[in-house]
Amino acid sequence: MQQPTVLGNPGISESDLQWMRLQMRRLRRAIDLLPDLDGVRIACSTHLDEKMIPAFEGLLERGASLFLSTCNGATVRDEVVEHFADSHRVQTNAWRGMGEQCRQKSLWKALAWKPTHLCEIGGEMTFILHGQNAIASSVRASVEATSTGVKTIDDLALRYPVFNWNNVPIKEHLHNRRMVGISTWHTFFERTRLTLHEKNVVVIGYGAVGQSLADSAKAYGGTVIVVERDRGRALEARYAGWNVLSLDEALPIADVVVTATGRPGILGWHEFRLMKSGVFLLNAGHRTDEIDVDTLRNFERRAVIPYVDEIQLGRLSASRMSGNGHCESNQNQQSDLQMQGDVDDQAEQAVLPSEFCQETEELDEKEGENLSPEQELEGQGDAGEIDADLPEGQNEEEDERLHWAESGRVSAAMISLENLIETEEHKIIYLFADGSMANLTAGYGDSINAFDLTLAIMIAAIGHAVTAADDYRPRVHLLPTTVWQAII
């Protein structure tokens, strides 16, 4: 996928930064309320877009040291990493387009840096610290920014408190419920130069982000269809006036499909075959795997315009036809590992657990093996845990939703040539931003003034984690109202 500089931005100038700082008044207030952070070491796994710079600067101003990793390699802005390159109190290990293996290694490096606190989007470092091969750490508390992250760590036997600031009312109702939808569709308009008029827009997932996407799509001229397997949310969507269909009913009539579930493998091989030619696929969630992009890489693909790839489902790619379906991914991995080698001197040397290294070696050895879908799924863990949080009495819904994960988790290598060739010869799918988070991969994300509030809550949460962690039991806690009210 062609990835030019975002929306023509040549970089981050000092005037750009001064403008952001001037417009982020709540963030400034939150920074001023921070305690002395001398000796505090914060490992951050976040989106590294330019609006994060004033927040990181504020933490440094108060005395903290930072390790900057990322929750999504596609949303990294290299100029953000470069901005902190000369700071002796900032370690960085991220770059735009870094592969998943190197991103995971970056998280291990962050933990080997011996942080006292974590600032996370997705809860991955906390999960690593409390996984099957739990390791000792110096972490005293963490702050989490997403519902996906909260669900990831909520059932763990935590050794420190985690402050959930995603579900703070003003964050959930303003950022998630309002801004994500607006910024996602703005980015789609900017890149494609298309509006949603006369288009059936299928929104998959009706949480706060899905609601934002649906409302904004309607405001911009789209005919909205909601897909939601949770019965309560589906009923809520109907009460809001939306047409609610099953995934199999909605996909054949969709012109634009957007995912907002926080779940892996929502759109896979089965779903691609239901879609009509010319459909646009995009993802608004933080995960990079809601759309099974690996399967789409089996087919001929070309960048028609920046951030929009045309995929012809009926025509196998040259590498697939030659039986070398992993050639491209292996080349990317080699480039990725070379980049990792180039930046290793910017981070402290981390000794990775032998289990991690062994797992990555085993994954490399498995590439190209002709495993069945069932065998592949066995290696992915217990897929039945995907919807453990669904209310009781939804077994049919849960089974149907599990199908999404299963269809998405069958990787490109596991699909037989016969099944691929059977696909319609001239069906075209337009993949937006490579299935990654659309508004930050291909655009600016939230506006500066709207994101000011989000960052202010994050900084307030970090301050609370530093000063009050000893007062809390080691579990997930909603950020107290008094903490975030102080900055609005």
pLDDT tens for 439-470 read 999 999 889 999 999 999 999 999 999 999 99
Is residue 294 one of the residues assigned to a domain? no
Q: For residue 136, what is the domain's CATH number?
A: 3.40.50.1480
Answer yes or no: is pLDDT of 124 > 90: yes
Q: Find out whether 46 and 67 touch, Cβ atoms under 8 Å.
A: no
Helices (H) and strands (E) in the chain, counts: 23, 15
Is residue 71 one of the residues assigned to a domain? yes
**More confident call, 225 vs 348:** 225
Predicted confidence at residue 415, as pLDDT, reads 54
pTM: 0.76
Is residue 292 one of the residues assigned to a domain? no
pLDDT tens for 1-48 read 444 433 334 568 899 999 999 999 999 999 999 999 999 999 999 999
- Section 354-381 average pLDDT: 36
The helix (run of H) or strand (run of E) holding residue 472 is: none
Answer yes or no: is pLDDT of 77 > 90: yes
**At a CB cut-off of 8 Å and minimum separation 6, what does 375 contact?**
none
Predicted confidence at residue 407, as pLDDT, reads 43
Is residue 187 one of the residues assigned to a domain? no
Is residue 160 one of the residues assigned to a domain? yes
Predicted confidence at residue 405, as pLDDT, reads 39
Is residue 111 one of the residues assigned to a domain? yes
Answer yes or no: is pLDDT of 325 > 70: no
| 24 vs 324: CA distance, rounded Å | 50
Predicted confidence at residue 319, as pLDDT, reads 66
Is residue 82 one of the residues assigned to a domain? yes
pLDDT tens for 83-95 read 999 999 999 999 9
3-state secondary structure of 420: helix
3-state secondary structure of 317: coil
3-state secondary structure of 487: coil
pLDDT tens for 188-214 read 999 999 999 999 999 999 999 999 999
Predicted confidence at residue 385, as pLDDT, reads 29
3-state secondary structure of 110: helix
Predicted confidence at residue 395, as pLDDT, reads 39
Q: Find out whether 188 and 182 touch, Cβ atoms under 8 Å.
A: no
- The confidence band for 177, taking pLDDT boundaries of 50, 70 and 90, is confident
pLDDT tens for 369-428 read 333 333 333 333 332 222 333 333 333 333 433 443 344 444 444 455 555 555 555 799
The rounded mean pLDDT for the chain is 81
**At a CB cut-off of 8 Å and minimum separation 6, what does 288 contact?**
72, 73, 74, 100, 435, 436, 437
Kindly state the tokens that stand for 200: 């059936």
Q: Find out whether 442 and 432 touch, Cβ atoms under 8 Å.
A: yes
- The confidence band for 252, taking pLDDT boundaries of 50, 70 and 90, is very high
DSSP codes, 267-285? B-HHHHHHSPTTEEEEE-S
Say how many domains are in the chain. Answer: 1
Name the residue range of residue 158's domain.
13-170+445-485
Is residue 196 one of the residues assigned to a domain? no
Range in 8-22, 152-166, 324-338 the model is least confident about: 324-338
**More confident call, 262 vs 342:** 262
Task: Tell me whether strands 162-164 and 90-92 are parallel, antiparallel or unpaired.
Answer: unpaired
Predicted confidence at residue 378, as pLDDT, reads 36
